[in-house]
């Protein structure tokens, strides 16, 4: 569901960035007042797991794939505020290091893939401790995915350079994302259960992230994801501009100079896991040092 640059107007990208910043500010405030202190290592490991999960596209219908969104997973394991901030950090790394998701549209992606589904998860499962309630977690994962798809649909209807009817885009996006929402539920429940089984120990969760990114992601489906499928079918995929970081060393989850398809994705995935973990772990420790000071 990563939105590239050029699909929506520049004004929409600015509004999206402002809305995302507001959502992240609320999340940061919630994180500061969170009752349970979450270790920096756990934040880093869960962020790495979300990154790895988003690398793995799974076929969900003929010619369409889906991947983990991860906001409900992050909220379940880290709490609402930290979970939303963690998902946003993953999206930033994807856009700026891997050319996945636009740069000028990063605010919209954060809004649609972190803030909106994270808010749904926060409303349904609350604190990290209540994530043991599987029905609520399942609802958070599934409804969060559909809410994210609906958010983009509304944005496209209001700010598309093509002026597509709102009802058409909403219907297409929801239809293609229903099976993706089911996938999100299954992956979220499985990941949270696995993390709980090892008490969400950072080393164990991080090892799982490395395994997914390096061993599973190279075999991911190459079929378009839900948003890409709708863009192709509705003929607005051509509006996407070239990514400003195309040609960078890790663009498109491939390492420059490594030609073997499986190996290059595996290395890129492992590097991405390390980047996300370092960014989140360092940021968490810095934030706590500033608060103590």
User: Per the domain annotation, does 41 fall within a domain?
Assistant: yes
- Output the pLDDT for position 285: 93
Longest dimension (CA), the chain: 55
User: Per the domain annotation, does 259 fall within a domain?
Assistant: yes
- Output the pLDDT for position 168: 81
User: Per the domain annotation, does 1 fall within a domain?
Assistant: no
- Output the pLDDT for position 127: 62
pTM over 0.85: yes
User: Per the domain annotation, does 215 fall within a domain?
Assistant: yes
User: Per the domain annotation, does 3 fall within a domain?
Assistant: no
CATH number of the domain where residue 70 is located: 1.10.1760.20
- Token digits of residue 244: 């400003």
Q: Give pairs for 130-139: CB < 8 Å, separation 24+.
A: 131/75, 131/76, 131/77, 131/192, 131/196, 132/196, 134/189, 137/72, 137/76, 137/188, 137/189, 137/192, 138/185, 138/188, 138/189
User: Per the domain annotation, does 284 fall within a domain?
Assistant: yes
Beta pairing, strands 64-66 & 58-61: antiparallel
User: Per the domain annotation, does 211 fall within a domain?
Assistant: yes
Low-confidence ranges of the chain (pLDDT < 70): 127-132, 161-166, 291-293
Residue matched to tokens 């906001």: 71
Q: Which domain holds residue 223?
A: 10-292
- Output the pLDDT for position 128: 53
CA angle (167, 242, 1) in 5-degree steps = 40
User: Per the domain annotation, does 248 fall within a domain?
Assistant: yes
DSSP 8-state class, residue 212: I
Domain count along the chain: 1
Phi/psi of residue 160, nearest 5 degrees: -70, 145
- Output the pLDDT for position 270: 98
- Output the pLDDT for position 166: 67
E-assigned strand segments in 45-98:
58-61, 64-66
């Amino acid at each position: 569901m990563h939105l590239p640059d050029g699909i929506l107007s520049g004004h929409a990208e600015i509004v999206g960035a402002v809305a995302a910043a507001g959502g992240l500010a609320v999340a940061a405030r919630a994180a500061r007042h969170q009752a349970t202190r979450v270790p920096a290592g756990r934040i880093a490991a869960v962020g790495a797991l979300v990154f790895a999960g988003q690398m793995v596209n799974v076929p969900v219908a003929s010619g369409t794939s889906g991947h983990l969104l991860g906001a409900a997973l992050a909220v379940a394991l880290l709490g609402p505020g930290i979970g939303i901030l963690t998902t946003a950090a993953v999206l930033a790394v994807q856009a700026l290091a891997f050319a996945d998701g636009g740069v000028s549209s990063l605010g919209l992606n954060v809004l649609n893939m972190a803030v909106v589904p994270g808010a749904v998860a926060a409303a349904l499962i609350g604190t990290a401790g209540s994530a043991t309630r599987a029905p609520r977690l399942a609802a958070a994962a599934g409804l969060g995915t559909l809410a994210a798809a609906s958010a983009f649909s509304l944005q496209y209807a209001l700010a598309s350079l093509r002026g597509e009817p709102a009802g058409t885009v909403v219907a297409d996006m929801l239809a293609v994302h229903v099976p993706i929402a089911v996938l999100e539920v299954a992956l979220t429940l499985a990941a949270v259960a696995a993390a709980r089984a090892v008490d969400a120990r950072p080393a164990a969760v991080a090892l799982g992230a490395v395994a997914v990114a390096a061993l599973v992601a190279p075999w991911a489906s190459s079929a378009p994801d839900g948003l890409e499928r709708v863009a192709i079918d509705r003929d607005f995929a051509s509006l996407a501009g070239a990514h400003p970081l195309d040609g960078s060393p890790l663009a498109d989850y491939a390492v420059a100079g490594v030609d073997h398809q499986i190996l290059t994705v595996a290395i890129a995935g492992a590097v991405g896991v390390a980047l996300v973990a370092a960014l989140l772990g360092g940021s968490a420790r810095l934030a706590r040092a500033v608060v103590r000071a």
